[in-house]
Structure 1
Amino acid sequence: MDAPDAPRTDAADATADAFALVGNEHRVAILRALLAAHADPETPYPTSFATLRERAGVDVSAQFAYHLDALVGAFVAKTGDGYRLRYPGWKAAAALAAGTYTDQRAFGPTAVPGECAHCRVAALHASYGDAWLTVACHGCERVLTRYPFPPGAAAAHLDDGGVDALLSAFDDRVRSHFALAVDGVCPECAGRTRTALAAVDDDASASQTATRGDGHAIHAVADCETCGNHLTLPVGCALLADPRTLALAADRGVDLVDRPYWRLPELVGDAHVDRTGTSPLEATVSLDADTTVTVTADLDVRHPGD
């Protein structure tokens, strides 16, 4: 027997109504046209009724007015100079432009340059599908990174510069997302994240350790209190949010900036991370043989002498 539907709250009703507003090809065209007008220095923005109708490609004025009026308030603002996107309208239009709901670009596995940060064998390959990009190693069969990347942007980078261009943009995106999350800000909705170190149970089997989280016995996590976004990252990647660590590494000739983060043993390699505390949980990350920093239970970074 099916469980009864949960009662809808006012917030759920409002959210459903907002999504229903864009369930029409003319309204989608209007949002796309406003986004394009915002990016085009030759088009006035806010945009007049006539210019917007022309850019949206809706021939019948009354039909266009009906659909535009439906968007005003929730997604579009009407001003004395014309129409502009409100923030929810910009988010919806940007998601459409990114191909988030429609594009299905895929490739791989494709060989990519560099050595594995774990086994140090040059056997890396990348694959992309269902809006997720993965870099793994054929040598030790470890997944080095897996993170979402918008399909429209992936297609643009692939068309402009191939897999190398996509991986470069992916590295920049994930680094910035990790830094935000560790700093307490969700990279998806800007809500507050709860951050912590987490460890696989001491009595877990080897197979559990290999598949839990990012594949490490200890890892950093960030959970958004607003949208539920959950990020799991190697402990070393918590250092990307700490300018002192980046400067310290540079002083010692350790490059944590110019190479993709999944190729940096100092960030993702097991040999560079030691569990140094239990209550509370702490981890020490070695930048070189003589230099270590400590990541605390709440992902603060401590340097020697702090």
Structure 2
Amino acid sequence: MTFTELKDAVGMRDSGGFQYHLNALDGTFLRKTDDGYTHLAGGIALYRAMLGSVMGPDAIDPIPLDERCPNCESPLELRYDHQVFYVYCAACDESASNGPFLPAGLDGRSNEDRIRAFDRWTKRLIFLLRDGICPWCSSTVSHGFDTDGKVEITHTCDRCRGFLRTTVLENVVSHPAVISFYYDHGIDVTTTPYWKLGELAAENTRVLSEDPPKLRTTIRLSGDELVLVLDGEMRVRIIDEQPRRTGTRTDPNGSA
């Protein structure tokens, strides 16, 4: 777009003042060319973030979930507060899972579709963060774990400081060995919400070393075990290739 087209679209009469603001944006959000101005990726991201934040409901009623709290077996519900979804247990007053979700994602969706969209969106966030890519600014990501109570992993962007806390199971569930382990027990983790996986399987994590960071997590399903060791980047480095077999394994089709 040309300078005049932009100025007319904004409705600003002062050409000098408008040029000042354009110059401030040039190189970061816009790029000046011989034909006028064109947008950059940063400008598009800012525009989309603004639309996502203002075009949708500020709040919704809690959505009942079919799953139970892994700690107390009470019903779970999906709550939305301050642009964050929480898989919440009222009895424990704790969140089993949470993640940011812009208001625009609520608009035009049924409660069932909102549940599905939040699950898919959160999986995408965790997948990128785990691989060291910030889903908000594309910068590098650092990882750490908290040992106060249940071990949790915190993924923090080195630039924008965006962060997300995840369980160890959420961090490893997209690993091929974990996908296969669940699938051999009739569970497709690609379509199962993260918060339901904790109900379906027992998971235990212990810290092997804090310097360098190293975690050992054991996933148990129907008496079978899969053991994984994670390094300081929270990536799987060692897999127990011969998990203990004490139960009956079923295939995804339901036969033993």
Which range, TM-score by smaller chain?
Answer: 0.7 to 0.9
2:77 matched to which residue of 1?
125
| Aligned match for 2:120, one of 157, 172, 192 | 172
**TM-score for the superposition, normalised by structure 2:** 0.75
Task: Give, in angstroms, the shift of residue 116 of structure 1.
Answer: 1.8
Confirm or deny: 8 A CA contact 1:272 1:285 kept in the other structure.
Answer: yes
Task: Give, in angstroms, the shift of residue 139 of structure 1.
Answer: 4.6
Whether 2:14 is the aligned partner of 1:80: answer no
- Corresponding residue SS for 1:184: coil
* Equivalent AA in structure 1 for residue 239 of structure 2: H
**TM-score for the superposition, normalised by structure 1:** 0.65
* Equivalent AA in structure 1 for residue 35 of structure 2: D
1:189 matched to which residue of 2?
137
Confirm or deny: 8 A CA contact 1:111 1:126 kept in the other structure.
Answer: yes
- Cα-Cα RMSD: 3.1
Count of residue pairs brought into register by the alignment: 235
* Equivalent AA in structure 1 for residue 193 of structure 2: P
1:104-153 Cα distance to aligned partner (Å, 9 max, x none): 71123x232311251585722222122111121235443112221123x2
Task: Give, in angstroms, the shift of residue 69 of structure 1.
Answer: 5.0
Confirm or deny: 8 A CA contact 1:117 1:264 kept in the other structure.
Answer: no
1:162-208 Cα distance to aligned partner (Å, 9 max, x none): 332222221111111111111222222222222244322xxxxxxxx
Shift in alpha-carbon separation, 1:128–1:84, aligned structure 2, 3 A: same
Shift in alpha-carbon separation, 1:146–1:305, aligned structure 2, 3 A: closer
In the TM superposition, what are the counterparts of 1:66-105 in structure 2 within 5 Å? 66=19, 67-99=21-53, 105=58
Structure-1 separation of matches of 2:24 and 2:156 = 35
Q: Where does structure 2 lack aligned partners over 5 or more consecutive residues? A: 243-256
- Corresponding residue SS for 2:127: helix
Structure-2 separation of matches of 1:252 and 1:97 = 42
Confirm or deny: 8 A CA contact 2:229 2:239 kept in the other structure.
Answer: no
Confirm or deny: 8 A CA contact 1:99 1:150 kept in the other structure.
Answer: yes
Confirm or deny: 8 A CA contact 2:218 2:225 kept in the other structure.
Answer: no
Shift in alpha-carbon separation, 1:141–1:59, aligned structure 2, 3 A: closer
Structure-2 separation of matches of 1:117 and 1:265 = 9
2:166 matched to which residue of 1?
233
* Equivalent AA in structure 1 for residue 67 of structure 2: E
1:147 matched to which residue of 2?
99
| Aligned match for 1:272, one of 202, 211, 214 | 202
* Equivalent AA in structure 2 for residue 238 of structure 1: N
1:283 matched to which residue of 2?
217
* Equivalent AA in structure 2 for residue 193 of structure 1: V
Structure-1 separation of matches of 2:81 and 2:162 = 20
- Corresponding residue SS for 1:114: strand
Structure-2 separation of matches of 1:180 and 1:113 = 26
- Corresponding residue SS for 1:161: coil
Shift in alpha-carbon separation, 1:197–1:241, aligned structure 2, 3 A: farther
| Aligned match for 2:193, one of 260, 265, 279 | 260
Q: Where does structure 1 lack aligned partners over 5 or more consecutive residues? A: 1-46, 201-208, 210-216
State the percentage of identical aligned residues: 26
Shift in alpha-carbon separation, 1:281–1:61, aligned structure 2, 3 A: closer
* Equivalent AA in structure 2 for residue 303 of structure 1: I
2:11 matched to which residue of 1?
58
Structure-1 separation of matches of 2:40 and 2:136 = 18
Shift in alpha-carbon separation, 1:64–1:171, aligned structure 2, 3 A: farther
Confirm or deny: 8 A CA contact 1:285 1:295 kept in the other structure.
Answer: no
Compare the two structures and name the one with the higher helix fraction: 1
1:292 matched to which residue of 2?
226
